Amino acid sequence: MEDKNMKILVTGGAGFIGSNFIYHMLREHPDYDIVCLDLLTYAGNLKTLDEAMKNEHFKFVKGDIADREFVDKLFEDEKFDIVVNFAAESHVDRSIENPEVFLRTNIMGTAALMDAARKTGVKRYHQVSTDEVYGDLPLDRTDLFFTEETPIHTSSPYSASKASADLLVLAYYRTYGLPVTISRCSNNYGPYHFPEKLIPLMISRAYNNEARDSMSATGSMLRITAALLISLFITAG
């Protein structure tokens, strides 16, 4: 029987995918209590949660998942049933410029969450990962796809930090029996998308005619891609 009083922690919920997940859960499971934990760094935008703030089953908490003392107290106070970890430093270029913050958030933060989860009896810990952990596919081999059996082959500090976190999650299942699942997202797009990401960046540059004359072919391709994506939004809506 479904637990009507389920309490879910959503980390990174002020970001693109996390905020969409929160709205989905509030809509589909109106009896669940949702707590959003977010540090509100460059990709977090509290305004995306304006509507959620009006819901009595939603609460926002600002904090750092890598702060163990803070995380432990939050878990003790709230007694979560499920944890969904969207919180991550997630920009490949930024990881090249400053890899240390990616290691702290993506690896140490994940460990802090899981330690708190196992100490407080969380029923399910879900790690939101990325297909970046699989590396790159050849551009001339459109017949190739990643599967769950594809070996991890990272190519940036970002993907290496996410792969490390994934392996740590699996280790916590095997070592401590923590109930875990992992999902590895590809290039998502939609409402509240951070403008530096690939798809919104392509759309904005195409519609602002930012492609140089020497790259007119690329500019045309960007405009075609943007038009296709917008048509998909309209169709989906």
Annotated domain spans of the chain? 7-185, 198-236
Q: Which of 78, 131, 173, 192 is catalytic?
A: 131
pLDDT tier at 235, thresholds 50, 70, 90: very low
Give the number of other Cβ atoms within 10 Å of residue 67's Cβ. 15
Given this model, what pLDDT does residue 213 score? Answer: 42
Higher per-residue pLDDT: 94 or 63: 63
Give the residue-averaged pLDDT of 133-160.
Answer: 83
Given this model, what pLDDT does residue 214 score? Answer: 39
Given this model, what pLDDT does residue 136 score? Answer: 79
127-141, 162-176, 182-196: segment of lowest average pLDDT: 182-196
Q: Which of 132, 134, 166, 172 is catalytic?
A: 132
Distance of CA 10 to CAs 29, 37, 158, 184, Å?
Answer: 14, 6, 21, 17
Give the residue-averaged pLDDT of 13-22.
Answer: 92
Assess whether pLDDT exceeds 60 at residue 26. Answer: yes
213 flagged as catalytic: no
Say what angle helices 216-236 and 198-207 make with each other, to 10 degrees: 110
What would you report as the CA-atom Rg of the chain, rounded to the nearest whole angstrom?
19
Contact yes or no for 32/55 (Cβ under 8 A): no
Percent of the chain with pLDDT over 90: 53
Give the residue-averaged pLDDT of 208-226.
Answer: 51
pTM here? Answer: 0.80
Q: What are 94's strand-pairing partners? A: none
Give the residue-averaged pLDDT of 111-121.
Answer: 98
121 φ/ψ angles, rounded to the nearest 5 degrees: 75, 35
64 is written with which tokens? 């750092």
Q: Which of 125, 134, 158, 172 is catalytic?
A: 158
Higher per-residue pLDDT: 156 or 59: 59
Q: Which residues contact 47 (CB under 8 A, 6 or more apart)?
A: none
132 flagged as catalytic: yes
Letter string b/e over residues 194-218, b meaning 16 or more CB atoms within 10 A of that residue's CB: eeebeebebbebbeeeebeeeeeee
Higher per-residue pLDDT: 236 or 24: 24
Distance of CA 150 to the CA centre of its chain: 21
Give the number of other Cβ atoms within 10 Å of residue 128's Cβ. 23
The correct answer on CATH 3.40.50.720 for the domain covering 7-185 is: yes
